[in-house]
Structure 1
Amino acid sequence: MLFTRCSCVHEYMDVYAEVQSSDPAELINSPFGGRYCGPIPPRRRISLYRAIALSFYTDKNSTTPDIFEGRYAFINETEYEIGQPVIGLPCSYVINFAQKRTGAIISPTYPGAYPKDMSCTYQFIGKPSQRVRIEFRDFDLFFGGPHCPFDYVRVFDGPDNTSAVIGTYCGQQRNLVLYSSEHYLFIHFSTLQRTANTQNRGFKGIFEFSESFVKLDFIRENDGMHIRGSECDQKILSKKESTGFVYSPNYPFPYIPKVVCRYFVYGMQDAQNLERVKLEFSIFEIPKGEHKDKSESNCTDGYLKVYLKGQEVADAYDKFDHELCGGELPHAVISDGPRLVMVFSSGELQGRGFKAKYTFETEYKIPGTAAPDGTCSFTYRSTSRKKGEFNSPRYPSNYPSETNCSYVFLATPNEQVTIVFDHFKVKADGANTTGGAYGASVCFEDWLEMYVLYRDGTDRFLGRYCSLTAPGPVESPRGAVGIRVVLHTDLENVASGFKARYIFETAKSVFGDCGGNFSGEDSGIVTSPNFPANYDGPGKGLASRACNWYITARIGYKILLNFDYFAIEGEPATRGCAAAVMRLWLSPDSDMPPIEMCGEKPAMEHWQYVTQGQTARISFTSADKAIGAQVSQHRFTRVYY
């Protein structure tokens, strides 16, 4: 058992493993190797030089022979002479390929506990066509944390400690294999001066200089970056919607057998950008190898495994999405997120390898048929799918700034499309939204617009929305081809955006589910369905219920609308009219958008509207999430103009 000097008082053993002289008087100048007492013996010790001293102390008058027992042996020191010693340093060496192409690298006193306050260096020098490989087969250093602040092995990709760092290692390491990028490698082994003793044994491994390791020129400078310490792994980072090529090792020549290279292709992912990776092959030849069962399609020799879902983060390389081999050109693949990883293993057989083009595309995370040019444009056709969802880019995360997105919903001639918003938050920091966020005068930063599309190629503007004012449910008119939704964001600040649903249904009459036509009458009353009882929502399985009223005065007259009672669920300023809405067109034949209304009219307020001409149109639409209210009663009267 290991104790401090103060703990072991009556009986103990001191160990000195860094003794340079056999003179007992020199012990006072030798580093102290630890004091031990109790029932647990010290771990194995190997001298740093040619001597070990043990000092036993007891204050008892008599002792028994079984207090301690150990074994010693004199071993050949050549195992610890890694290369040409550096004068004045007890454990630093220069290893030159001319003297040794392969050999062992071993820490001082391995496998005994290594000394404290020690600095050892190992400089490997090959010839220009070579690379250096280090394989640590046993590695046991004191672990002081992930950054190795105490004892460590630091490996440099070059001739000295000013070169780029491959990595810093401590604790226990398994399968630690490192390669230099060129013909130099430098290793620094450092242990901290401290009072507490450690019992770690250090490291042992092998090194090799070779011209046969993968040449790194297949990693094109403008495309990829070699991952230091690996034989041929590379990382490719997006430069924003950039494109380039990846190649098999030694391309365009046949690849080298028994090589494993990994390709990490990473698109942008931050508050402003999100990309996915598209991979298209133009050359592919990786021999499959013979298989006893001809029905088997597995790649028994070389292969290229493709990972599309970020499996490498969890080190789940057994869960690949595609395993490719043979001579057929694979189809294009697209990552599910910003990361795509490939693992190429060459096996025993040689082949031409592969060449593939990667493209970083903006990832909007919007369901629907995307535009082929990569813009934020999506189409939803009734012939493909009758209902579904759509959303702002990256919902529920914030949408990016400086973006324009288009969503087009196309119905067949005997159908209508209904759109219902379930979440809505579009940035309007500088706007006064106390009365609701509608129109260009309020929504001038980020906004959402809706249009009705007609078969002659024209469209009709429905409205502009922002802030928390969700658009009311909208149903395309009979005879229209569909609806277009547009999202615009400016340069500054963002919000969570929107989530909405669409459904294509059989076309209703021009009046919808209810409604009517008033023509040439001097006055009249329009009420919501079931008034004064609550209105109904749509039937089971339907997206909305719509009522359309058309009012036409005689020539020379306008129409005055007075609202006697109005209560529709919703509140324009705080949540909009997402469940139910009344739209009022005061000039149905012009491009003027309708007035969108929900909430409740105070009893003492007078709501009056006058049309611009002799016609008016009123529509009431409730979505499947509406809970029902009394809605409205309003009178219309003709007025002269």
Structure 2
Amino acid sequence: MAGNGMIQSEGYPVNYGNNLNCSWTIRASAMEQVILTFSDVMLEDCEFCNCDYVQVLDGPDPSSPVIGTYCGENRRPFSVMSSGEALTVVFVTDASNEEGGLTGFRANYTSIPKCGGNYATMNGTITSPADLNNMYPNNADCVYQITVPAMYTIFLKVDRLILQDKSMETGCSDFLEVKETAMGTDLGKYCGEMDRFSVMTSQNTMWLRFSSDNTTTSQGFTVLWDVIENTRYYTNPTGMISSPSFGGMYPFNANITYTITLPAFKQVFLKFSVFDLEPEVVQDVASMPGQNCADLLEIYDSSGRLESYCGLRNPFSILSMNNSITLMFKSNLAINRRGFVAEYETIERNTVFTDYNGLITPPQYQGMYAHNLDINYTITRPQNEPILLSILNFEVQEPVNGTCLDYLQIGTETICGEQNPKTYIFYGSTSFRFKSDFFLSGAGFQAQYDVCNTTIMEDSGVLRSPGYPAVTYDNITCIYSLRQSQHRTFDIDFTKFDLPPKVNGMCDNYVKIIDPHSGDIEVATMEGGQMMKDTMLCGNRAPFNVTVQAREIRITYVSASGNNTIGFNLNFNITDIPTTTTPTTTTTTGIMTNRPTTSTTQAPPTSSTPGEGGPGTKDNTTSASLPIIIAIIVVSVLLFTVAVICIVKSKSSKNDSENLKILSVRRTRQSCAVLNPSYESNEELNRGELK
């Protein structure tokens, strides 16, 4: 017999006869095995099956090894499997059927590809042999050997495992056994019903054996394998690393190395968002060498081992001392958990700041500074420019026995623990250092620096009073020159203005906006609910805006005493003047949405030489309206008419002497200057130097 079929006792499902001795031999093709599934067994029940029985032999004849002998009543289906391509069934009855109503047996058979075998693919799936009811058979003994290229190890994921439960007396009767080789490292013997799990080899081979006894069967197992590199290299400036199978459970027997290498003079900033490893050693399972951890992540750089971690940890971060860092992850065979995931990024080994202001914080992750920090911060500005350094927030590990383990070192001062805001003043350049160990962490520090007496050439940016908004400095004067190469529009937007109020009508702390060409700029702002015009601004004012057309604007900040105020913050934006607009000096006041606004426009006076002011000429006009503009236009037309008449008269006086011509021109220009004060004289004409 071959393929699929059915056998049954004589007379089934009616009573079978006495003194029977029947046999069936089932043969499959080469490289196949036979599975025989009993759907019904109802025989005389005698001790040791000495009366009536059905016996299954593992081979083609009655002398083959016995797989199982069955008697009594068993209506629950069960299966047996041959180890080769043949199976023999023997049915024997005695001389009497004392119980009556016994129907005998019925069984179905099928042939399957021989279980077990050798696999050399990079990935694949293995399932337990199954009968027609999708249950694994009794007497199964399948061996699987997986081999992959030498540079890889094998990652085995057990997707389904439902076997006969483990017995207290005999242990696992049906089991899946995993080793690195047949005689190599034992990676576990698994039975019963288990959730998904995974296991790794430390080499490129894996050996599996599935075995079942002759009693209870179940649904079996499904495993998947893939290759994995035990050493992983990362060279990108940013990236992510994780334990194998992150999102599920990491495998048993993991041993993986991660190496991150960045360009010279960089540091690796590693941020762990999830960290969940087995914390403690369980009974009969050895701990990691030299450690109290069951599963372990060790971190190294060129200086040696930095730290090792296990258990469940809140998010944390760590910084390498140089441009390379190595992580080694190891797990045992007891308990697996979620594992870890970490992102990394590149950090400058020494951080240099050159802008006119800036914010400085240590590398942080989720509000906590990194372990193993040793960073130097340098602020460099032109010589003699004051640098005002403000430590706004400070919270690091408290000193231990009077010694700071995590600290900020500024000059000769070392600070740790929790500190109130601190202020420092340096000139030209300064450096300071922050260092942390591997234990406690905290919020760290937030430092801010601002440069005084500086020239800013940028088209846009932010200016603030030193220390804004946490601290104010006493007895300082800061001048910020916003300078451009040509006349442009300066838009200055004060988003916050909180200085001490006037005392006896005078501002001790104030801000002035100055056009170096025309002097202090008068600004209209809201103060105390009233519109006020000032050139010296102090007190608490609603947000306001100043617009000026100039080549350079100077903002002067004088602080005598802060008096619980926070200073000012402004944004500036410099744009080109529209070419269709004739430069004028005007001041306009308007109300912007949700806040009062003063817009001030300034331009240099007209010059006889482009780009230069005429001698002794100064434009004192501070405001204009539409009627005034119309009046100016009318006066200009009249002046033009007078000039034409003057020229006509001059040409008609042919008999006048040269001195009379000069006198006439002088008087004409003087009369023009009376009508129009902005009219510019020509000194060469006034001196009589006509050609």
Whether TM exceeds 0.5 here: the answer is: no
Where is the strand percentage greater, Structure 1 or Structure 2? 2
Q: TM-score, normalised by structure 1?
A: 0.31
Higher share in helix: 2
Greater relative contact order (CA < 8 Å, ≥ 6 in sequence): 1
